Amino acid sequence: MYRNVYNGSLSIKDVNKEVELVGWVSKRRNLGQILFIDLRDRSGIVQVLVNEGIKCCEIRNEYVIQVKGVVKQRKEANNKLKTGEIEVIASEVNLINSAFNPPLIIDDKTDALEDTRLKYRYLDLRRPIMQHYLDIRHQIKMSVHEYLNKHHFIEIETPMLCASSPEGAKEYLVPSRIHHGNFYALPQSPQMFKQMLMIGGLERYYQIARCFRDEDLRADRQPDFTQIDIETSFLSQDELLELMEGLLYKIFKDTINVEIKLPLRQIKYETAIKDYGSDKPDTRFDMKLFDVNDLLNDVNIPFYNKEMSIRAIKVENIAHETTRKIIDALNLEAKKFSLDFVNVLKYEQNQLHGSLIKYLDENTIKQLINKSSLKENDILIISHGPYNRVCSLLGNLRNQYAKKLGLIKPNTYDLLWVVDFPMFELNVEDNKIVATHHPFTRPKDECLKTLKSDPLSALSYAYDIVINGYEAGGGTLRIYDQNIQKEIFEILGLSDEEIKNKFGYFIEALKYGTPPHGGIAFGLDRLAMILGGTDNIRDVIAFPKNLSAVDPVSMAPNKVDQSQLDELGIIIKDN
């Protein structure tokens, strides 16, 4: 037997207990006649005291050892350790395995760059904070299973090798060895399969589903990711959201012992964009966007077009710090949103200062100050251009300033639903109408009459769950009437041939008594990231890809033997 107790479980109640422990040497302190060892296993760290004369192997950091001894109370407690009131007086220390000197400090705080951490991920995972993140992820999954099983859901696996379908992002393709020239696609989501499960009469399905999207990466995105996938039949949107709020309540309570207040708020998509400049608003702080068209539209300002939007945000108590260099940086930020510039006005010594002032009369300046409720040392950032771009820019700046000024109270959680998304949007690149979510989203009943004549004004039964400014999940009610589905395809400009080729098997299924149904998918990785208290999604994934979509441990993707390519009938072309 290697052990009879876990290191982190020991406490003052275990004094005089004989124990056998195993683990990794986290730290060693050799004081000559006495050797102290911090022994770490997954449950935590306990201090081991080895007196002179005790049988002991060579000890170095990250050696795997076994310790036999007796638990004693420490003369001075260490409040930094869960086991800080006690220590183990060793009677025997045995070497299980030695270790090279690790290339990173294995502690919550490490000096290693992320590239090093990812390359030696198996060492990085020994750090207690990393094990905490993965434990949070595990607890979320256990809560999901317990809650959904209790509410009559059935867990069903859907295929990983699927037909290619246009769902937005590019797909990962898998060549068929048997059917040369044909490909499977890895699923971006189990969308059509879970809808067919509803047609199949299963009524309540869920799956901890692996999904794949070949898209550009960022801190909160991975090419292969996991979602908590859920689909139900015979529920209204309000009934479905209420059921999911119960799930979120349980997840928060089980994982971090936080009780969220129910029911959650609902904000319409239009309001979220107007007030916060984002469809995933962080409402833990104020700083809302507002219109100034009424004040500036009739003013002759160069480069301002009266047909465009003029909107602003006020940032408090930062005018003295807002230098020319800061304003230049704000203008560079504007260019990321295809806007030329922003106007920055400072309110200092009861006066408004800035390049825009020379175009404004005293009455307009006074109205601008009153509308913005400006106080000493505040600034006003004004943006002009297409409405959506202006809102997106100001929403982005709003979040940046909130972090910079510390406006967000730590360890707080802000949950809300964003509802009533547009059914369609216009792709500016080719001026074509595209589905905002996916082509199986159900339009709101009151929009059906004008769906063909005015599709861009149609709203949908779509909803996103937003937590602390992150989209943590989203879903829709689905179209269950084949006639409405046909109308949606026509609006999207799909021919009968395209419909047959892309969705033929699913459209056939819709003909056989489809129930009203809808669902949602929560991002497991993103939920674990939020609840774990990190802003990097790679922290909560055991073996993640880096920003180049490479696995630094195995170095995938990699080249394969020519014989494998020949067997698949694949020829690699040089770029």
CA distance 354 to 142: 56
The pLDDT tens digits for 471-522 are 999 999 999 999 999 999 999 998 888 888 888 888 999 999 999 999 999 9
CA distance 319 to 344: 10
* Cα dihedral value 161, 516, 522, 224, nearest 10: 10
How confident is the model at residue 169, as a pLDDT? 75
What's the CATH code, domain 7-97?
2.40.50.140
* Residue among 64, 30, 65, 66 at smallest CA distance from 50: 30
In this prediction the pTM is 0.93
One-letter amino acid at 229 equals D
One-letter amino acid at 391 equals C
How confident is the model at residue 165, as a pLDDT? 75
Strand order, beta sheet including 517-523: 154-155, 204-212, 224-233, 517-523, 470-477, 462-467, 415-419, 265-268
* Residue among 87, 41, 91 at smallest CA distance from 67: 91
CA distance 194 to 233: 11
The pLDDT tens digits for 212-266 are 999 877 766 899 999 999 999 999 999 999 999 999 999 999 999 999 999 999 9
Pairing relation of β-strands 470-477 and 517-523?
A: antiparallel
Bridge partners (DSSP) of residue 433 are: 426
* Residue among 72, 246, 194, 45 at smallest CA distance from 128: 45
The CATH class given to the 285-404 domain equals: alpha beta
Question: Is-cis flag, bond preceding 175, omega within 30?
Answer: no
* Residue among 189, 191, 198 at smallest CA distance from 232: 198
CA distance 193 to 506: 9
Q: How many CB atoms lie within 10 A of CB 264?
A: 20
* DSSP assignments along 55-94, one per residue: EE----TT-EEEEEEEEEE-SS--TTSTTTTEEEEEEEEE
- Spatial contact of 46 and 62, defined as CB atoms under 8 Å apart: no
The domain over range 130-268+415-562 is classified in CATH as 3.30.1360.120: no
How confident is the model at residue 265, as a pLDDT? 97
Domain ranges of the chain: 7-97, 130-268+415-562, 285-404
Q: How confident is the model at residue 166 (pLDDT cuts 50, 70, 90)?
A: low
One-letter amino acid at 231 equals E
For the chain, helix (H) and strand (E) counts, in that order, are 14, 23
CA distance 435 to 429: 15
Q: How confident is the model at residue 446 (pLDDT cuts 50, 70, 90)?
A: very high
For residue 211, give every residue at least 6 positions away whose Cβ sits within 8 Å of its Cβ, in sequence order, or none: 187, 188, 189, 190, 224, 225, 226, 227
- Three-state secondary-structure class, residue 509: helix
Q: Does 410 score more than 60 pLDDT?
A: yes
Percent of residues, the chain, with pLDDT higher than 70: 99
* Residue among 215, 211, 207 at smallest CA distance from 225: 211
Q: Measured over all CA atoms, what is the biggest interatomic distance in the chain, rounded to whole angstroms?
A: 91
Q: How confident is the model at residue 429 (pLDDT cuts 50, 70, 90)?
A: confident
Pairing relation of β-strands 462-467 and 415-419?
A: antiparallel
> What does the block give as tokens for 7?
């290191």
CA distance 83 to 49: 14
Pick from 35-49, 91-105, 165-179: least confident: 165-179
**DSSP code for 442:** P
How confident is the model at residue 307, as a pLDDT? 83
Q: Does 104 score more than 80 pLDDT?
A: yes
* DSSP assignments along 170-234, one per residue: BPPEEE-SSSTT-EEE--S--HHHHHHHHHTT--EEEEEEEEE-B----TT--SEEEEEEEEEES
User: Tokens 């307009």 label which residue?
Assistant: 364
- Spatial contact of 66 and 94, defined as CB atoms under 8 Å apart: yes
Q: Does 144 score more than 80 pLDDT?
A: yes
User: Tokens 């100001």 label which residue?
Assistant: 394
> What does the block give as tokens for 150?
């209790």
How confident is the model at residue 168, as a pLDDT? 63
Q: Does 340 score more than 80 pLDDT?
A: yes
H or E element that contains 128: helix 128-150
